[in-house]
Amino acid sequence: MHGLRGSLELLPLADLLDLVARRRLTGSLTCERGTVRKTLLIRQGVAVGAASNDPREYLGQLLLNFGHIDEEQLQKAFQTQEETKIRLGRVLTMVGLISRQTVTEVLAIKIRETALDAFRWDSGLFFFDDELPGGHDELDAEVPLADIVKEAEFRATAWNAFRGEFPSGTSSLEVEEGRVTADLGPTTLDGRLLELARRGLTIDEIGLALHATDFHLYQRLYALARRGILRAAPERTDVSTAIEEAVETAALLEQAEALLGQGRTAEAELAASRAVASAPGSEPAQAVLARAEEELRRKLHDDLTDPPRVPALRLRSDQLGALTLSSADRYLLSRCDGRRTVRQIVQVAPLRELEVLKALRRFADAGVIRLGALG
């Protein structure tokens, strides 16, 4: 199996995992689609680890989401990890913040969520390497690939139901206030979800605000919809709009390529992002966006982390309240306290590194924050 690679359109992930499980293979299986990359570490047909560039699937973020640790504890653990080069899970158990059992249970969730999200892809590439990095660790979780495939079948049925109620993550939501019951108070997860819906956030924005994976978010949305409490706001499309979007996509891709050639990475990333937004299934658009994002990420990383910068607010709370800010903006600004470095904010944020760096650069250019020196 060394060097096996191919397309998920020709060999679906369910068939691929079944093959690896039946042959009891050992190695790493990586799946890529556009800018998203996921890897399963497999020992004799059993998944023992996972890696992903989706921050919602990071171990630290999952531990935060489930309430096992807070951001300050996670930040200290990251610092210890950098000093000792010990895995994050082991650091957290060594200092007594969480038990070994908790780490293993959350790592199992990480494996499942990383793999199950890829089952939703209708395209992408995979490659299998029969070398398994690292040795055995007593904290490793073990999730049989057959169990993942079986759960994926259940989720496929669930997603059909979810999408029947909520076709797009860009939709906003309508709350039927007369059906909201006392058990949906502001301190509950569903209560927080409803409050975000009332503020006009889209489904995707609500997921970010709640630090939720897609499946768990749509589970809650669907449950509320079945109770008649929540529904997707109607969206309107027509044929002429679709034609206009196709023409626009081609023009945006051409523009993005030209801007990359000129070294104007920020403008290129914006044009490529708009192209992907208008044609989400376009592999050429995704490929151009991946290049633009990586070049922009490197540029911003060098600018904002070398030497280390410490963001601090320049505006008063009443001035901030007058600004129109997304949930992601508000989250990041709440971390610009003059104590955390840019790198530390990147580590704990439920956002991709590029999104954090872009936002901080935008805040600094607009005079919302200042980027001071460390120490």
Average pLDDT, integer, range 30-52: 91
In order of 168, 326, 332, the CA distances from 336 in angstroms are 32, 16, 7
Mean pLDDT lowest among 37-51, 148-162, 174-188, 267-281: 267-281
Average pLDDT, integer, range 116-124: 87
Average pLDDT, integer, range 317-346: 86
Identity (one letter) of the amino acid at 227?
A: R
> How far is it between the farthest Cα atoms of the chain?
62
Measured CA to CA, the distance from residue 113 to residue 154 in angstroms comes to 14
pLDDT band at 299 (very low <50, low <70, confident <90, very high): very high
Contact 292, 268 (CB under 8 A): yes
CA 265 to chain centre: 22
Measured CA to CA, the distance from residue 38 to residue 234 in angstroms comes to 34
> Is pLDDT at 246 greater than 70 in this prediction?
no
Average pLDDT, integer, range 53-65: 84
Sheet strands (E) in the chain = 4-7, 27-33, 36-43, 46-52, 125-129, 143-144, 173-175, 230-232, 309-313, 369-373
pLDDT of residue 241: 47
> Is pLDDT at 238 greater than 90 in this prediction?
no
pLDDT band at 136 (very low <50, low <70, confident <90, very high): low
Average pLDDT, integer, range 213-232: 92
Domain coordinates of the chain in residue numbers? 4-154, 166-232, 239-303, 307-373
pLDDT band at 166 (very low <50, low <70, confident <90, very high): very high
> Is pLDDT at 242 greater than 60 in this prediction?
no
Measured CA to CA, the distance from residue 18 to residue 150 in angstroms comes to 10
Greater pLDDT, 132 or 369: 369
State if pTM tops 0.75: no
pLDDT band at 48 (very low <50, low <70, confident <90, very high): very high
- Among residues 294, 306, 289, which one has the least CA distance to residue 343? 306
> Is pLDDT at 112 greater than 60 in this prediction?
yes
pLDDT of residue 18: 92
Q: Provide the terminal-to-terminal Cα distance of the chain, rounded to the nearest Å.
A: 51
CA 357 to chain centre: 15
Average pLDDT, integer, range 85-94: 89
- Among residues 333, 265, 276, 327, which one has the least CA distance to residue 299? 265
Where is mean pLDDT largest: 120-124, 169-173, 320-324? 169-173
Contact 301, 265 (CB under 8 A): no
Give the dihedral sign, CA 218/222/224/228: positive
Contact 28, 132 (CB under 8 A): yes
